[in-house]
Chains A and B, each alone.
Chain A
Amino acid sequence: MRKTQCRVGMALSCLQVLGACSSRPPSSTSIDPAKLAMFAPLVAIAAPGNGPLSEDKIALGRMLYYDTRLSKSQKISCSSCHTLTEYGVDHQATSSGHNGQKGDRNSPTVYNAAAHFAQFWDGRAPDVEQQAKGPVLNPVEMAMPSEKEVVAVLKSMPEYVAAFKKAFPEQKDPVTYDNMGKAIGAFERNLTTPALWDQFLKGDQNALSPAEKAGFNEFANAGCPTCHAGRLLGGNMFQKAGVAKPWWDTTDSGRYKVTKNETDKFVFKVPSLRNIEKTAPYFHDGKTATLREAIAKMGEYQVGRRLTDAQIQSIQTWMASLTGEIPADYIKEPVLPRSTSRTPKPSEAD
């Protein structure tokens, strides 16, 4: 009888242990250091690739970033689609450009973008300086007819001419389209958002809660760091959309449009996970509204795993630690140069 009681007691203890295990996160709340070897904290300033980042260049870039006169309608600026107070996005599936035209891809966040190894979803620009020159002339976006017209707008305002001279003192005629891109890029290079995740990586074990650590373990165990690793947890490689299962929408062939290589079909730059909870909607087409849905799709289409609701929630909890603080002072909208009688008038024409 005592033996039986003992067995029943042991069985109950076992059930209690199992119950405790199933009601807590499946993994322990410590993180294997080997798993962290694939990550690194954010650096304060993304490495400059186009000369020194002078304060004058940054100040000029800030003005240009906010200036709607760089668009044909004079209603659209970089800030319209990459709203800095909204973590660098406009929360639209695809942004509205000239005369309400819609782009074909989601506007990615501009925060930390300078540290990406290539720009745009298909990586067609090598850095933010080159990227900044794209949308201004894109007929669907800011729709300026030519570089010459943009330079004419800038030269019509003496305050801009003076600002370009200060930013590029070594040049005789510094008001150029290339320098516009360089100044905007210089401003963007300081758009970084260090987060609790960085504090944790630097050694502060208490920077992440046990639930966040458990969430990271879920993320790592699911195989996500295959693509989302490094300083930005993405932004550092290309990958096919639909590795484990064909992507549900193959209308956009991705990087293939740039390279024409068969192997680049449906290949896109892996987006960074920094501030990911703040930058909905998701993916290149912006058709995935919530982060929960995005994590589930990544599990299904990229790593071939159907993640449970609890796993998705856990990963989402950890992702909150990737949200950094917006640099409020740095992004403050500046006073823009005044238009003059020589400044071209806005046009709504297509």
Chain B
Amino acid sequence: MLKKIASYWIGVLILLLIMAQFLQPDQTNPPADPSASFEAVARPPKELAGVVERACRDCHSNRTVWPGYSKLAPVSWLVASDVNEGRAKLNFSQWNIYSAETTQIKLREICRETMRLEMPPWYYLPMHPDAKLSSRDVAVLCSSGM
């Protein structure tokens, strides 16, 4: 009897997962104008640009590299939501939308959040070990020479 119930629910789950694949979020990257990028507008030191590219690009730019697993619902919904929110909060591909004041605010926030290990998010790191920040990386992000 229990086996029957378990089979029934496993069947329902599989069916829901199959149906969920038809509800995919938009994962098309918006255009990225190189002249509007962080590199072009802020002209950061090479090392800093490298850390940003390695640890922040996927969620905070229009050049997201969508991994294979991000195509499978419901993971696809979570990843798309994170990327959408990440771009809205800070977008290295559209650095020209920020004033000098906002730039300073954003840079301070980057420093604060990386120092507190709030960024990159812990759940992002297992699949993206390169994004793990060393203390040197955090120091670079917090450097005032930007």
Q: Say yes or no: B97 contacts A238, CB within 8 Å.
A: yes
Q: Say yes or no: A243 contacts B88, CB within 8 Å.
A: yes
Which residue of chain B lies nearest to A265 when distances are taken between CB atoms in the complex?
A: B30
> Given the complex, which residues of A lie within 8 Å of B105, measured CB to CB?
38, 229-230
> Given the complex, which residues of A lie within 8 Å of B33, measured CB to CB?
261, 263
Contacts of A246-268 to chain B: CB distance below 8 A? 261-263, 267
B3 in contact (CB, < 8 A): no
Q: Say yes or no: B84 contacts A244, CB within 8 Å.
A: yes
Q: Say yes or no: B108 contacts A37, CB within 8 Å.
A: yes
B89 in contact (CB, < 8 A): yes
B109 in contact (CB, < 8 A): yes
Per-position 1/0 for B101-128, Cβ under 8 A of A: 1100100110010000000000000000
B62 in contact (CB, < 8 A): yes
> Given the complex, which residues of A lie within 8 Å of B109, measured CB to CB?
38
B-side interface mostly: helix
Q: Say yes or no: B88 contacts A237, CB within 8 Å.
A: no
Q: Say yes or no: A236 contacts B102, CB within 8 Å.
A: yes
Closest Cβ–Cβ distance, residue A257 to chain B (whole Å):
16
Q: Say yes or no: A237 contacts B102, CB within 8 Å.
A: yes
How far, in whole Å, are A157 and B25 apart by their CA atoms in the complex? 64
> Given the complex, which residues of A lie within 8 Å of B144, measured CB to CB?
none
Q: Say yes or no: A230 contacts B89, CB within 8 Å.
A: no
B76 in contact (CB, < 8 A): no
Q: Say yes or no: A239 contacts B101, CB within 8 Å.
A: no
Q: From B62, B97, B98, B100, name the one whose CB has the most chain A CB atoms within 10 angstroms.
A: B97
Closest Cβ–Cβ distance, residue A119 to chain B (whole Å):
12
Interface residue from B30, B84, B97, B112 paired with A262 (Cβ < 8 Å): B30
Task: Give the interface size bracket for A toward B.
Answer: 20 to 34
Interface residue from A117, A240, A261, A263 paired with B101 (Cβ < 8 Å): A117
A34 in contact (CB, < 8 A): yes
A182 in contact (CB, < 8 A): no
> Given the complex, which residues of A lie within 8 Å of B30, measured CB to CB?
262-263
Q: Say yes or no: A239 contacts B88, CB within 8 Å.
A: yes
> Given the complex, which residues of A lie within 8 Å of B134, measured CB to CB?
none
Q: Say yes or no: B97 contacts A231, CB within 8 Å.
A: no
Interface residue from B62, B85, B102 paired with A230 (Cβ < 8 Å): B102
Interface residue from B62, B99, B108 paired with A237 (Cβ < 8 Å): B99
Q: Say yes or no: A263 contacts B88, CB within 8 Å.
A: no
How far, in whole Å, are A283 and B41 apart by their CA atoms in the complex? 29
> Given the complex, which residues of B lie within 8 Å of A50, measured CB to CB?
none
Q: Say yes or no: A230 contacts B101, CB within 8 Å.
A: yes
> Given the complex, which residues of A lie within 8 Å of B68, measured CB to CB?
none
Closest Cβ–Cβ distance, residue B59 to chain A (whole Å):
14
Q: Given A226-B88, A304-B85, are A117 and B31 also a contact pair (CB < 8 Å)?
A: no
Per-position 1/0 for B32-64, Cβ under 8 A of A: 010010000000000000000000000000100
Q: Say yes or no: B31 contacts A231, CB within 8 Å.
A: no
Q: Say yes or no: B102 contacts A262, CB within 8 Å.
A: no
How far, in whole Å, are A302 and B30 apart by their CA atoms in the complex? 18
How far, in whole Å, are A342 and B88 apart by their CA atoms in the complex? 55
How far, in whole Å, are A343 and B94 apart by their CA atoms in the complex? 49
A-B contact pairs, 27 of them (CB 8 A): A37-B112, A38-B105, A117-B101, A118-B99, A229-B105, A230-B99, A230-B101, A230-B102, A230-B105, A236-B98, A236-B99, A236-B101, A237-B97, A237-B98, A237-B102, A239-B88, A239-B97, A243-B84, A244-B85, A244-B88, A261-B36, A263-B30, A263-B33, A263-B36, A263-B93, A263-B94, A302-B88
Known: A223-B89, A230-B105, A239-B97; 13 extra A-B contacts, CB below 8 A, are A38-B105, A117-B99, A226-B88, A229-B102, A230-B99, A230-B101, A237-B97, A237-B102, A261-B31, A262-B30, A263-B31, A263-B62, A267-B97
